[in-house]
Chain A
Amino acid sequence: MQCEEAKEVLHSYIAGYLTEEPTRELERHITTCAECSRLVREARQVLEETGSFFETMLPESPIEERVLEGVAAATMRYEKTWTEALREQWQRAPWWMISAAVHAVILMLMTVITVATAQKRQDDIVITTDLAKKKEPEYDEKKIRDIFRNTKEVEAEEMVENPVFVHEEVEVTDHFETENDMDTHTARGQEDAISDIPLGGTGVVGNIGVGGGGAGCFGYRSGGGRRRAIARFGGSKASESAVDAGLRWLARHQEPDGSWDCDKYLPGTPMRYGGSAQIAAGLDSGVSGLALLAFLGAGHTTRAGRYRQTVGRSVKWMLDRQKNDGDYSHGGWGQYYCHMISTLAMAETYGMTRDQKVGYSAQKGIDLLLKWQEANSHGGWSYYGPNRVDSTVAGWAVMALKSAKVAGLDVPKESFVKAAKAYDMLSETTQNGYRTVTGYTSKGGISFGSKGYACTGAGLVARLFMGYRRGDPETRGAAEFITQPDALPKWTLDKDDHQNMYYWYYGTLGLFQMGGDYWKVWNSAMRDMLIQHQRRGGDEDGSWDPSGVWGAWAGRVYSTSLGCLCLEVYYRYLPVYKR
């Protein structure tokens, strides 16, 4: 071995990484070469002093725990003003996106300029330009609400021997070509959640929110995925236009500060079960959460869709009103419902936008839910102290926890296990030994005159969200119970409380996941009834009357939001199992 070679390998040698053969050669070389022998000694010293570097510089006492605490404190405190966050997002927009915006403007200009050419001779081309005004189609509230009227069938081109050059009018729509209306395919929610479309997803069942592959688990709420889902799971043009009209009503009646006023639209509503304007006045955060969910469910976020402004104002209001302990509600009687619904809405917002500020806020909301669960002696939730569980309240809590989990927030798995046990406690055991029919706060305990349908619906949704399958006896029993003819949605307020919006919402979510005949029977009752009873014309166009059981408590924003959410079911959380 020569010196050149030796110098190349000597550092591997002192580190002990040199293989056998070169090691022998090097050792033979340094016995004869003083220079290389000295270099090896120096290298050994370097190795040793490298170790001493860390020994010298280490802190005298361990600092990891202090640093961890500091990081935890600082990141909880990390709050930016809303405008700062927006500005930062804009600044983070890459050059190609700014370029895309400029091109979009140019393209838009091109559509209003019609170019006609008359070709007389090869070198004599006359170009005339003409500005054509494009008229915004008027919104006719009486007309069948069809949001698909702008779509056209694509026809195959015909071969023409001597083509005549014709300028076609280019139509610009607000519809993006990606699956989720974002500028690029951007995952929403867990990016790995499986899709039930062919070739989609990567193999993990999200249990709810199973979405369109690259678009993530909330990805079916808009764009092409949404159209496919509507067609496939029993939606229709009419149901979509009803959702559209419902969202229009909600957007028109949002307060300037971004909230929705619960008691403002109560007058004229039959007061039942002690509902009153005073009670409703404290429920703004709850109905605002429901309205926000209705927009999110149709794919409208702070970043995409026609109602960006509406959603943005709503999210800002939620962020501003959250208290230090994470509570979004106004306290009082409605604290539990309102906080759970708002938390669910914020967790979904985070899942769909990945906005860190919203994520921190939703996590604080979730933490409060978990604290309440911890304090409850049965591991559930109630609004009357820690020693009972209300199946309907707990249903919202489970939905919020599940959405948060899917969105990537911190939710311990024990929380779901405890909630499942709480539901077992409330559920009657049938002859076969399975717990199916869920009571309100005890086995067989029924809320007012509702025969236990609503509570069983809540139990079904909660169980499906906690991980039960649609083949399990518990879920099958519940589905059978609420699909018997008497339990199906009916727009009549009788002594059995058939007209109950939140029961319909629970039933719709749960049976959609169950699928099969359960869903067919329920869907045809629910869908057509809601479309038929949506208000047409006037200020109330697009809303649903709060004439049902709890309408007097929560008003028109509540009934309209739930109406939209029921009809958004086809794409809101896709079913786990392929049909």
Chain B
Amino acid sequence: MAGTIEEPIGTRPADGRGVGGGRAVEGAALAAVQADARSLLAPEDLPGASDDLLVRAALAGQSEAFDGLVRRYTNMIFCFLNARLRDDVEAEEITQETMVRAYVGLPRLRAPRAFPSWLFTIAGAVLADRVRAGSKVVPLEEEHESGGAPVQSPAELFSREESRAMVHREIQRLPSHYRVALTLKHLDNLSVEEISKRLQVPAGTVRSRLSRSYALLHKGLSGRGLGAAAPEAGPGFGETEKEV
């Protein structure tokens, strides 16, 4: 019985590139090489390519494409791990392990454009494995920055440190595709159009994801600040809710 081979679904539309090439040796040879590797990207296309294209190129064997993905999302995964662990060294190790697992598991990624969200899922799994294996890693999940009674005054009267800590906690509870959008905007300083291109989702969707993220963070903040019930524990680090 044969095993399955999971190939990325769908093909790219024809783009007219490739079949040229004149009599010159270079021309003919180059044309042939360009033509047969449709998924591969020219070096100058790598920085601007969408995640989707990079994943496909990486699957076609272009190692620079996977390197590009690692460059794009190393800091994102590191930041969220660091927020959870407050340990630079552990966070870096787990980031690296996450990228290795992503490399090995890439053929099993069904929707290439969900790559960054998928990294969170993997990072969550790596974290869980480490905890299970008895690593010294103890997620800070349960630690509260203040155990005191809810403050009655409006949130604006909070000390800057307190509200900052709360926002930072809330960010970690967001669904992964919101975290990805926030990262691209605030860490990589990309415009909505650039984010839209990179993630292959419409600009309107990017805007609504960002606004919705702020709303969710705000809700968590005012929940605590205004003395309402504390927000329920959100999904874990690598929550696997349906990604859009």
A contact set with B: CB distance below 8 Å: 11-12, 14-15, 17, 38-39, 41-43, 45-47, 49-54, 56-60, 63-64, 66-68, 70-71, 74-75, 78, 86, 89-90, 92-94, 97, 101, 182-183, 186-187, 190-193, 202-207, 303-304, 353-354, 356, 359, 363, 405-411, 413, 416-417, 420-421, 424, 466-469, 472
B12–A52 contact, CB under 8 A?
Answer: no
- Chain B residues with CB under 8 A of A467: 21, 28-33
Cα A356 to Cα B29 with chains together (Å): 28
* CB<8 Å pairs between A and B, sample of 17: A45-B155, A46-B217, A57-B82, A60-B88, A63-B74, A67-B95, A68-B67, A75-B104, A90-B1, A92-B108, A97-B1, A202-B38, A204-B14, A204-B36, A410-B62, A417-B25, A468-B28
Interface flags, B201-217, vs A, CB<8A=1, else 0: 00000011011111101
- Chain A residues with CB under 8 A of B67: 68
- Chain B residues with CB under 8 A of A405: 33, 36-37
Cα A75 to Cα B61 with chains together (Å): 13
* Chain A min CB distance to B91 (Å): 8
A-B pairs, top 10 by smallest CB distance, nearest first, are A467-B32, A89-B3, A49-B167, A57-B79, A303-B2, A413-B33, A203-B14, A408-B61, A54-B187, A11-B214
Cα A12 to Cα B206 with chains together (Å): 11
* Chain B min CB distance to A332 (Å): 31
- A51, A60, A75, A205: the one contacting B186 at CB < 8 Å is A51
> Known interface pairs A97-B4, A205-B19, A413-B33. Does A70 touch B100 (Cβ–Cβ under 8 Å)?
yes
Is B183 an interface residue when CB atoms closer than 8 A count as contact?
yes
Given known contacts A59-B75, A406-B36, what 17 new A-B pairs fall within 8 Å (CB)? A12-B208, A15-B214, A17-B192, A17-B211, A46-B217, A53-B171, A59-B78, A70-B100, A71-B66, A71-B99, A75-B103, A90-B1, A192-B38, A203-B14, A410-B63, A466-B29, A472-B23
What's the dominant secondary structure at chain B's contact region? Answer: helix
* Chain B min CB distance to A19 (Å): 11
- A38, A86, A469: the one contacting B28 at CB < 8 Å is A469
- Chain B residues with CB under 8 A of A417: 25-26, 29-30
What's the dominant secondary structure at chain A's contact region? Answer: helix
Cα A42 to Cα B1 with chains together (Å): 61
| Residue on B nearest A413 in the bound complex, by CB | B33
> Known interface pairs A11-B215, A43-B214, A57-B80. Does A416 touch B99 (Cβ–Cβ under 8 Å)?
no
Cα A409 to Cα B103 with chains together (Å): 15
Cα A407 to Cα B60 with chains together (Å): 8
B contact set with A: CB distance below 8 Å: 1-7, 11-12, 14, 18-19, 21, 23, 25-26, 28-39, 59-63, 66-67, 70-71, 74-75, 78-80, 82-83, 88, 91-92, 95-96, 99-100, 103-104, 107-108, 154-156, 163-164, 167-168, 171, 182-183, 186-187, 192, 207-208, 210-215, 217-218, 221-222
